[in-house]
Structure 1
Amino acid sequence: MLIPVNINHHGIQDSEAELIRLTFKELGIKENDIENYLKHNLDLLVGDEESLLIVGQQVRNKQNGRSDLVAVDEKGNLVLIEIKRDVEDIRNRKEPFEIQAIRYAANYAKIQSKDQLVNDVFVPYLEKQKGTSDSVLTTSERARRILTNFLVQNEAGQAFNRKQRMILVASEFDEQTLSACAWLISNGVDISCFTIEPVKLNEQYLLDITKVLPVPHLEDFYVEVQENHKVRKSSNTVPTNTSKQFLPRMNKLFDWGLLRSGDEIIIKNFEDSTAIALNEKEVEYQGKTMSYNQWGQTVTSWSSINIYEWTIAVGQTKTLHDLRLEKMRMEEEEV
């Protein structure tokens, strides 16, 4: 829920600014506009705790169906991202939204090798992208190199496409779609639902993005305590299974002093990646100010990156993820 307010030294007061919820249809935004935006901003769906590589867009299958976006995650699994503009688009389809996604996932389950993904999906995608390409490598060689590097760096080279994930995105979902997705999740199917809704505040347009399913379990909020409690059995152990969704973020790392303004940081295993941490939200890289995610994406050419597991402060040997887990352990031991 977005509520316009005024905040000053007097406290919080109601704002006269008008918050208007709109539809993409009335704004003249098409489904492929949303698709192209999300392609370049995947962190809005998966956050800063996951790495993804987009390998396909509008991929046509043998039954003439077309999946919107296809990615590979850090575990080597294929991820299908299906987008519908408004709830009317969901209702007007010949088949239910979730059934369409399942059908596409079944198609991608048949991809048995990295070469098959490269040839059938990734090469056509790269050939459609604008911009300069490597003049030495063919598109096939470039696709194979990018995919192999992503899988090797994430230690997923031997775990390719063991399962498929589905992410459904729409400005609104009908009850039947949410009911079906909830049932699928309860039966072990990896499917997520996100709403993305345009909002106007004065002359500024905003996107309200919410993860609807799966809902967090109560255990997700106190898993850190459980893991830290186990740590007391061995002072040399660092909790590794803490729920990523509720781990401390960059602002807490700055509060703890694990990262400071002016620190040089790098993306591990990537040359020429040195940046300067400006604050909890931005870095300076090659003379440009950008977010941590944008920096990581620029260096790696991945579509999204788990910035904590890949960032190392110069002079350190441990990633920000390792450092925050150690700090959590130390604070728990002091209790």
Structure 2
Amino acid sequence: MYSIKDNQATKIEHVTFSDLKMTENDIEEILRCNINMLCDEEESLLIVGRQVKNEKNGRSDLTAVDNNGNIVLIEIKRDKKDIENRKEAFEFQAIRYAASYAKIESPDELVKLVYAPYIEKYRSEFELGELTSYELGIRKLNEFLEANDVINFNVKQRIILAAGEYDEQTLSAVAWLNKNDVNMSCFQLTPYPINGETIVKAEKLLPLAEYNDYYVNLMDKATRYVSKREKTITRKVLPKIDTMLAWGAVKAGDIIKAKDSNDEVELLKNGNVKVNGEEMSMQTWLKNIYGWSSIQTYNFAVHKESGKTLSQIREEYMEKLANETDDSVEQ
């Protein structure tokens, strides 16, 4: 990362969370309040639990439900040293917790065991009114599931690992698990000190297209363990709102509505929106409306004039571009 001033680039070196005197608990609280750091605008997440204990006294860091109705376990480690000093592997610890959540068969059960206690613990963050924690929890969870058209609840469980850095053995194991249909992601959180503030870069390491890039090789004579990283790694990245504006698929000044809501805002030329005179990202605007931890921005932002979601507009425009490319190749 570089700081640019008067056309001069100054490299900003990253630090560790240990250098910043931050604990795993500190990172956990940051992610609890900002879980969108670990997902993109194509995903909705609702945080429903923190430090949930199972019958064997294991504690999962954060618990969420995603837009497919699956329970998501988020496990956190501060750095590689914390990972390597544990007797139990980071990824296996998360798998044990996920196995406990596999027994939850209904939203009602999740609310009773996990979400209601979470709401009670953080009741100052919720508007309970005359409702009990259970009543509010079941209402909010059902609204989330209905808005995302979820039919089957908790068919599979997902795991997200977040750490300041990883050891090669963990990345190798997670790559193998993904290739064998275990849905586990690795996010690396890298802090940078900039002008008295801490900027955190959240980078998704896994899953990727090339799982082999993270496999740890077998020993070859006197060669030490080496992780293969030479291949070019490709990711499927959908165009964002700035690209859609550049295409002309949407325009600055267009009105954007929240799906199934009367709330609407003006789209700005930088891709943000204006809400009561204040500029903010569409993700933040929609999160405030629905009260979720993270939201599928392009599925819940509706272009008022066309009545289509931004996701539909993007898909149609990408198809149009693909057809134009095919036509030019044929000619």
TM-score, normalising length: structure 2: 0.86
Alignment equivalent of 1:107, drawn from 100, 113, 121: 100
Question: Which deviates more, 146-155 or 19-28?
Answer: 19-28
The 3 A distance-change label for structure 1 pair 178 and 244 is: closer
Residue 326 of structure 1 deviates from its aligned partner by 1.1
- Note if contact 1:21-1:199 (Cα within 8 Å) is conserved in structure 2: yes
Amino acid at match of 1:49: E
Corresponding residue for 2:281?
291
Amino acid at match of 1:196: L
RMSD of the TM alignment (CA)?
Answer: 2.0
The 3 A distance-change label for structure 1 pair 317 and 18 is: closer
Amino acid at match of 1:248: P
Q: 1:1-335 to 2 correspondence within 5 Å? A: 2-6=1-5, 8=7, 13=8, 15=9, 17-129=10-122, 130-156=124-150, 158-201=151-194, 203-217=196-210, 245-271=236-262, 273-335=263-325
* Post-superposition CA distance 1:268-299 (Å, at most 9, x none): 1123x212212334212234321111011001
The 3 A distance-change label for structure 1 pair 268 and 7 is: farther
CA distance in 2: counterparts of 1:171 and 1:283, whole angstroms: 32
Question: Which deviates more, 87-96 or 100-109?
Answer: 87-96
CA distance in 2: counterparts of 1:203 and 1:135, whole angstroms: 40
CA distance in 2: counterparts of 1:7 and 1:334, whole angstroms: 42
CA distance in 2: counterparts of 1:332 and 1:298, whole angstroms: 36
- Note if contact 1:18-1:201 (Cα within 8 Å) is conserved in structure 2: no
Residue 175 of structure 1 deviates from its aligned partner by 1.5
Q: Which runs of 5+ in 2 are unaligned?
A: 212-233, 326-331
Task: Work out the number of aligned pairs and report it.
Answer: 302
Amino acid at match of 2:258: I
The 3 A distance-change label for structure 1 pair 324 and 211 is: same
Residue 316 of structure 1 deviates from its aligned partner by 2.0
- Note if contact 1:270-1:300 (Cα within 8 Å) is conserved in structure 2: no
The 3 A distance-change label for structure 1 pair 7 and 48 is: farther
**What percentage of residue pairs aligned between the two structures are identical?**
44
CA distance in 2: counterparts of 1:57 and 1:201, whole angstroms: 30
CA distance in 1: counterparts of 2:100 and 2:275, whole angstroms: 40
CA distance in 1: counterparts of 2:44 and 2:191, whole angstroms: 26
Residue 306 of structure 1 deviates from its aligned partner by 1.0
Residue 257 of structure 1 deviates from its aligned partner by 2.2
Residue 259 of structure 1 deviates from its aligned partner by 2.3
Residue 180 of structure 1 deviates from its aligned partner by 1.3
- Note if contact 1:77-1:163 (Cα within 8 Å) is conserved in structure 2: yes
CA distance in 2: counterparts of 1:105 and 1:132, whole angstroms: 27
- Note if contact 2:14-2:191 (Cα within 8 Å) is conserved in structure 1: yes
Residue 43 of structure 1 deviates from its aligned partner by 2.1
Residue 108 of structure 1 deviates from its aligned partner by 0.3
TM-score, normalising length: structure 1: 0.85
CA distance in 2: counterparts of 1:151 and 1:244, whole angstroms: 28
- Note if contact 2:256-2:264 (Cα within 8 Å) is conserved in structure 1: yes
- Note if contact 1:20-1:201 (Cα within 8 Å) is conserved in structure 2: no
